[in-house]
Amino acid sequence: MHVLVIGAAGMIGRKLVERFAAGKEILGGEIRRLSLVDVVETPMPPALSDITRAFAIDISETGNAAKLAGLRPDIIFHLAAIVSGEAEADFDKGYRINLDGTRALFDAIRLEGLKEPYRPRLVFASSIAVFGAPFPEKIGDEFFTTPLTSYGTQKAISELLLSDYSRRGFFDGIGIRLPTICVRPGRPNKAASGFFSNILREPLVGEEAVLPVDEDVRHWFASPRAAVDFFIHAATLDLDRVGARRNLTMPGLSALVGEEIEALRRVAGERAVRLIRREPDPLIRQIVAGWPTDFDARRAEGLGFRAEKSFDEIIRIHIDDELGGTITHGG
Amino acid sequence: MHVLVIGAAGMIGRKLVERFAAGKEILGGEIRRLSLVDVVETPMPPALSDITRAFAIDISETGNAAKLAGLRPDIIFHLAAIVSGEAEADFDKGYRINLDGTRALFDAIRLEGLKEPYRPRLVFASSIAVFGAPFPEKIGDEFFTTPLTSYGTQKAISELLLSDYSRRGFFDGIGIRLPTICVRPGRPNKAASGFFSNILREPLVGEEAVLPVDEDVRHWFASPRAAVDFFIHAATLDLDRVGARRNLTMPGLSALVGEEIEALRRVAGERAVRLIRREPDPLIRQIVAGWPTDFDARRAEGLGFRAEKSFDEIIRIHIDDELGGTITHGG
């Protein structure tokens, strides 16, 4: 089996590749070849170096998507994207990468299939940004996609293309709308959503973190481990069970910032909680007020997708996967 | 005021231009210039010939959309499209005209605005084909768009682009999802939906028409006159009232084929009804079974859009607008 990961140097892309390295049979057959694509250099997984080839290319540039489709991978994970803030700030770049890049990939697969029959599985990383306020209390599986960002628009368009190309038989596609990933590893960044992770990740290693919103802010979360699980499950799921509606809101945990903090207290103690510094930021408050807070993801749940049920679980996964299983700064 | 109509040679496009010819003040200001675009030759409206210029061009071809945006029209009606059947049969052509053509137009307007501030009103002809079965009994204003045709996909994508470009301030757009237009003037055609019009139009002039489905088939209709009203209203409506969700299902009449026939009997008598020949066609039955049957269009109704309330009205409009106000073959 030949597996292609586009956006392999991103946070989820790396973790997905790590999962392959831990078990070559994870996709229901032996991974005999792995192609990793990103615009930046992709770290090579040591355990898979003999079967891996990395490409530092931009799929929106002419010829690149055709080159990748020409490799005829069996499973394609498409995670490459310009993030929300940048797609809003740079209109041309956002549309070029997130829409034209995706369409170039889809079309290259279609044209490859015209040469000789070819119908790979394609798993697309979509986002809850396809939805736009005002929202119902829980966003159901049949709620319309009226994004309020260019990023959300590009993801919603990609979802429509994915469904039509799948219906036509050009590939067997599935789009998965990821919740906000928490705890995001790495250093604090400037994303408006960064604080959801910062207020857990930093105190767990004895560092201060800033909370710019009130504790009654509610949002929708899943761990990086759950996200990787979603991709693996989407790649191996019988898509006849999914039918024509190929884009699914993934399960998640709807929780308050206050519940995050209570979970931190239970897992790491009062000392960790005291490292959260409250610094209200009106701009971030306003941005976050427009975000969805809860979903009814029963379709995905019925198809076997699973996420965490508590923030305690999410924190423990972070400790296991990023901190070697123990914390030294709690208490 | 300068008005641009793209797709001006089509059925609705022509009727829209006829309406302008009947009253130059119809868009809330005097039409001083009219630009008509279609891939085929557009008939010149005699009453407006001194202010009208026609262009036989394809907006998806490089440079054409920029040329039109360079004229800086105040109101743009975009009705140009490859129809559903052809977009399904010719994948490349459908995407080229219905998606790339629309995007080229939207982007040309954006780029024109970068030269010198420019923000026209743009009215886009969308379709109920953005929805795909299975449907609720009535399709509400917040139901998701999961099209089951490439045409519906292209329209749904165009709607998303329209919303994002409007949100960004590149133009002031509104997308209107037209019901099935009935009675469609002209000769019977091979469209699967043709019979809805054929069984009224042909008997009204003493000709036979074929009914390929049962009388209990339900569908969603508006007259050509109502469709023109929708476009005029959309061009003059205060879009602040519409908000961020710029694509609206237009009002219509949900009716059974049997109700069409009863209305024909009331308006034109038994002799007309006897001209309907029942010839069940399993393929057309199957296609039609996947179509929506009823909508809750309360958003558009609240904004002042109006359609017919009975098939008697729809038939009388056809008699007024196409048959000079009287029928000679009824009774």
Contact call for A161 and B157, based on CB within 8 A: yes
Q: What is the C-alpha separation between A144 and A131, in angstroms, rounded?
A: 7
Which positions in chain A touch B245 (Cβ < 8 Å)? Answer: 132, 146
Check residue A3 and give its pLDDT: 98
User: What's the gap in Å between the CA of B248 and the closest CA on chain A?
Assistant: 12
Q: For residue A282, give how far its alpha carbon lies from the nearest alpha carbon of chain B (Å).
A: 22
Contacts of residue A156 in chain B, CB cutoff 8 Å?
A: 160
B182, HSE (Cβ side, Cα atoms, 13 Å):
29
Task: Pick the residue from chain B with its C-alpha nearest to A153.
Answer: B160
CA distance B212 to B285: 7
| CA-based nearest residue to B167, from B244, B113, B92, B107 | B244
Domain A2-178 has CATH 3.40.50.300: no
Residue B191, pLDDT score: 79
Contacts of A190 (CB under 8 A, 6+ apart): A85
Contacts of residue B146 in chain A, CB cutoff 8 Å? Answer: 163, 244-245
Helix (H, G, I), strand (E, B) or coil at A217: coil
What is the overall mean pLDDT for chain B? 96
CB atoms under 10 Å from CB of A189, counted, come to 12
Q: Which helix (H) or strand (E) holds A258?
A: helix A257-268
Three-class DSSP category at A116: coil
The Cα–Cα gap between A81 and A87 comes to 9
Residues of chain B with pLDDT under 50: none
Nearest residue in chain A measured CA to CA from B145: A144
Instruction: Select the residue of A145, A164, A245 nearest B153 (Cβ to Cβ).
Output: A164
Per-residue pLDDT, A329: 62
A-chain CB neighbours of B143 within 8 Å are 142, 144
When scoring A153, A162, A171 by the number of chain B Cβ atoms within 10 A, the one with the most, hence best to mutate, is A153
CB B72 within 8 A of CB B118: yes
Which of A145, A157, A244 lies at the smallest CB-CB distance from B144?
A145
Backbone angles phi, psi at A46, to 5 degrees: -55, -40
- Cβ of A147 within 8 Å of Cβ of B157? The answer is no
CA-wise closest residue to A272 among A215, A197, A204? A204
Beta carbons of A55 and A37 less than 8 angstroms apart: yes
Query: What CATH code would you report for A180-222+253-293+308-331?
Result: 3.90.25.10
Strand A218-222 versus strand B2-6 pairing type: unpaired
Spans in chain A with pLDDT lower than 50: none
3-class secondary structure, A35: strand
What integer pLDDT is reported at residue A189 of this predicted model?
74
Q: What is the pLDDT of residue B192?
A: 84
List the one residue out of A110, A101, A112, A13 whose CA is nearest residue A67.
A112
Q: What is the dihedral of CA B5, B8, B14, B17, to 10 degrees?
A: 30
CB-nearest to B157 from A91, A148, A157 is: A157
Angle formed by the axes of helices A224-236 and A11-22, nearest 10°: 70
Task: Locate the domains of chain A by residue range.
Answer: 2-178, 180-222+253-293+308-331
SS3 A50: coil
ipTM score for this prediction = 0.96
